[in-house]
Amino acid sequence: MAYPKLIESDKLNAPYVDAIRSGLGDYDQRKSGLPGSVPLVIAAQDPESGTIVGGLVGSTVHAVLYVNTLFVDEAYRGTGLGGQVLAAGEEAARRRGCRVAVLWTATFEAPGFYERRGWEVFGEVECAPPGEKVIFMRRYL
């Protein structure tokens, strides 16, 4: 058997991503007896324009919510929309049986936003630009 060729890409090539995710999901399900990763998207849509102005992208797996991305357009920051989006994601995760949520953010992004909503730091690593850190956070649901 020939050793597999490695392919590097800066695109989320659907066939590659699907094969990798389903391979791990199938393996995890066989080993744990639990369902694999289920995507979770909470979108905030402007009622007048229909434009998506923020939201959350993540997944739930093994009773854990993984928040990959949370964004609110600058025009809506400070309005409470970010907190509503995060709370909606947490509630959806609870309905799916999740007991904890995790994410990472950078020191120049929004750690204070999450801390004010009950999230706690459980690790950090230095990142670029110099002096900044990636902060790993969790919240028990």
How much is the pLDDT for 32? 87
Residue 111 CA to its chain's centroid (Å): 14
Predicted confidence band at 130 (pLDDT cuts at 50, 70, 90)? very high
Average pLDDT over residues 124-128: 96
- Strands 52-61 and 38-45, bridge-based pairing: antiparallel
Question: What is the distance between the alpha carbons of residues 138 and 122, in angstroms, rounded to a whole number?
Answer: 7
pLDDT digits (tens, 9 = 90+) for 48-102: 999 999 999 999 999 999 999 999 999 999 999 999 999 999 999 999 999 999 9
Residue 114 pLDDT > 90:
yes
pLDDT digits (tens, 9 = 90+) for 21-46: 889 888 888 988 887 889 999 999 99
pTM for the structure as a whole = 0.88
Write the single-letter amino acid at 72.
V
Residue 82 CA to its chain's centroid (Å): 14
Residue ranges of the alpha helices (H) in 33-70?
none
Concatenated DSSP letters of 83-126: HHHHHHHHHHHHHTT--EEEEEEETTS-HHHHHTTT-EEEEEEE
Question: What is the distance between the alpha carbons of residues 29 and 27, in angstroms, rounded to a whole number?
Answer: 5
